Amino acid sequence: MNIVLLGAPGAGKGTVAQELVAEFGFAHISTGDLLRAAVKSGSDLGVKAKSYMDAGELVPDQLVIDLVKERLAADDAQKGFILDGFPRNTVQAVTLDSELGAMGNPLDAALLIDVDAKVIIDRLSARRACRACGYTGTAADEVCPKCGGEMYQRDDDKPETIANRLDVYEKNTSPLVEYYRGQGRLDVVDGVGTIEEVHDRVKEALHL
């Protein structure tokens, strides 16, 4: 099964993807990870991507699509894939559909992990990170349980920053949600609950 994973920052997309990968063996394709890996490897696509990133510019859609296509050729992606972080708007979605159609490997579903903005702000603003080892914990962790280092709140996890990120997400992604809904490919799952509860809802929505 080929899936596009949608959801606001902090909605739990990463956890949903991990659970699907663990149970069904799908390839989890994060465009952020792909870009970092390509740059690190020094591949042709990576060199091109780095030139845009170094200039502080967005990497062009077609370059990201080319990276995704290259990744989809890997053996593990033949069992199905989960695209995380792309597309981010309807222009990218149309391009992605065209490219996947040409590959004979179209999307089966767009899965939206739906979580109320207040829940996300409460969830992320309670997050703390260790300055020493990078461990991610909560406000209840006065010191890092892994290394004893200092726990702090990242700027990205401050309520006002989170609210702004959610605002940007909403403006960019609402049309994308409607695009997939119009195609009859959108599945919406409540992202509030235990990992097991959300995973069960995801499987039910995707008929897995």
What are the catalytic residues? 13, 88, 127, 154, 165
Handedness of CA 181, 167, 65, 190 (dihedral sign): negative
| C-alpha to C-alpha distance for 5 and 206, rounded to whole angstroms | 12
**For residues 136 and 153, is the Cβ–Cβ distance under 8 A?**
no
Instruction: Specify burial of residue 171 (Cβ count, 10 A radius: 0-12, 13-18, 19+).
Output: exposed
Residue (of 39, 36, 108, 105) closest to 74 by Cα position:
105
d(CA 206, CA 208): 5
